[in-house]
A and B are shown apart, each in its own frame.
Chain A
Amino acid sequence: MSPGRLVAQLSNPVVTDALVVSLKTSAIAQALVLLLGTPAAYLLATRRFPGRSLAIVLVELPLALPPAVAGIGLLAAFGRLGLLGGTLNALGVRLGLTQVAVVLAVAFVAGPFYLRQAIAAFETVDPDVVGASRTLGAGRGRTFFRVVLPLARSGLAAGEALAFARGLGEFGATIMFAGSLQGVTQTLPLAIYTEFDENFTAALAMSAVLVVVSAALLVALRLTLQWQPSRPTSRLLFAPSR
């Protein structure tokens, strides 16, 4: 198998379609994870309220679920015959076989990787430093952006890298919930699976793309963490969230 034949496969429409679907859904899903996950993680890390433990268990549950079960769960909730299916249907929203379904599946499965890490990162921020910012005249918002976020940054980056990698490789939940429709819901892993029988070279080329992306991601993460001067984060990467 020469590298030339692999590169040639990159213009195969199946491959380009899968690449576009994967990049687009990943980008949207990760944006959702960051926008909703960051404030949620900060609240879970800094507030003590009844039901907090339960909330953390729910957040972490998808980590423990087999992806296929996550897919079934999403179907049971949002599918045509699911719990919210009727409501969505009445609103004219059909999720099955759409990119929205792919985004939901990816966010559901990958989000907890970010949340877990983000909670741990926020918990390591010294509450006195936050208090110091407040007494120095900065309100909650300014304190969050000027003190909390910079101090938790490396932990958040590590969590997001894990979530992105996990989301890019998402297979089980996506195929159950969104199907595998070329150009619409067929992401790279789904296309690899389909092409495995049809066109092995294409499958191999797409696998190579994923290997390169994953490696680049890890290298980039390592570089960011070294460059960031505040504190070592290797410990944070696998720190359990309390």
Chain B
Amino acid sequence: MNFLAQTTSTTTTTTGVTFPTLVLTAMVWSAVVFALAALLMPNQTQDQLRRIKSLGSTGAGAALFFAIWAVETQVSDAAGGTGGIPGGDLVEQHSWLSSFPIASSYHLDADGVALSVILVVSVVFFCAALAAWRNQRHVKLLTVCLLTLETASLGILVSYDWVLFLLFWTLAIVPVYVLARAFGPGHGTRVATRYAATSLVSAGLLLLAAVLIAFQAGAHSFDMGVTPVSLPGDGETVAFWLITAASLLAMAVVPLHGALLDLEEDSTGVLSAIFAAVLPSLGAYTLVHVAVGFFPTTSGSFSLFFAVLAVVTVVWGGLAALRTDDLRRLIGHVGTVFMGLVLLGVAGHTSIAITGIMFLLLARGLVIGVLMLLASLIQERTRRVRISQLGGLAWQAPFLSAFWLLATLAAAGVPLLAGFAGDFFIFTGSFPAHRWASTVVLAGTLLASGVLVWTAQRVFLGASRDTFERARDLGPLELTYIGILVGLIVLIGVVPGHFAELFQNGAGYILFPGVA
């Protein structure tokens, strides 16, 4: 038996030596390697704590480096039609569990949807690792859990085998739970447990779907590379709904949003940014890549369900954002509205709409990440979480205010910022199929954007308050990580074409896998 039967793509050097491409492996595992190193480090003195933080930043930086490498490789291949679809330069496959009747392999690959989320995840984690330099509580725990969560998140995005996919999906639950308990307030246990229970339910649903697909598809394999999947009888519908339910739980769409919103509200800034920017995106990726990608016909036949759910989610999210007085919860609601847009894109079921989802996921992660980090900086400076207690901060913190406003405009879908392309493509792609739903969702999105602008006015404008006289503006470290995120928001807004072909190829593969 050959345990390492290899079907990995290879790279040939100038010396003629070939070696397997390991970009995705390096990207996924680099963070956890640094986590293990941090775990073994002593954490008694300030110097030792600084070393642990350095390991955290370096680990996240290494993952970001390989993520950019992977994305750019695919961007350059996109013009030739191979970038953004599986089976390209990045594929890695090694036999793993060949002795079991349903075989499994170490199969990594990435399509357009995955690459858009990979970029967001790696950038947000890197910025979070930089932001965590100011943290003094549970330093080792925070570093190890963040890096483990990054490995799990990236692993979900590149797994092309059900066993691996489920492994990473479930692995992500543990660090989120521990972090939520460590950094949550008094009732952190309840919030963390609720989220863990929700996530474990979604993992269980995915496991059942995986087993059903592996068994009924007839291939006797857990490999996810063969799409679309054709199952006999009602198997296809059952598997589709199992995956969809798991994805919707992770995306935190209405009415399944409570656990994640509580988690975002109760965590510290760095964690809120990761929880809000990364976790729902993983659910959206699963919905688009797995549920729609495996069952394009079945998902198309249920497009009305997604349209209705999109309307409910966006309207509820917009109204809840209008009503809330908590800054972080407001951003959470705006994140929910974005997820409603993803649902509308799925309901549209066209290449344009799916392309829009990829742009939206890219923009959403960056925008929500910036807003959450800024919200935590505001809270840190003012010791206030209520919007009604804030005001006039623009005089003390002009950079902070400017960045908030820019992120707000990006969330509203203003041209030349990252949010525009996603909104534009999703509405263009969905309008012909669901006119009323698209119109209502557009109204809901405008409502959420309006709330964000109104919030900016209430928090930053108005007369300068004596209470916040000593609130300082962003320091060099904060300018660095916020600047990276905002820079990307502007860059993607100015040159969306850089990713256009990549995402179009990915969308084509998801809806018409046989053709692509």
> Are A and B a genuine interacting pair, yes or no?
no
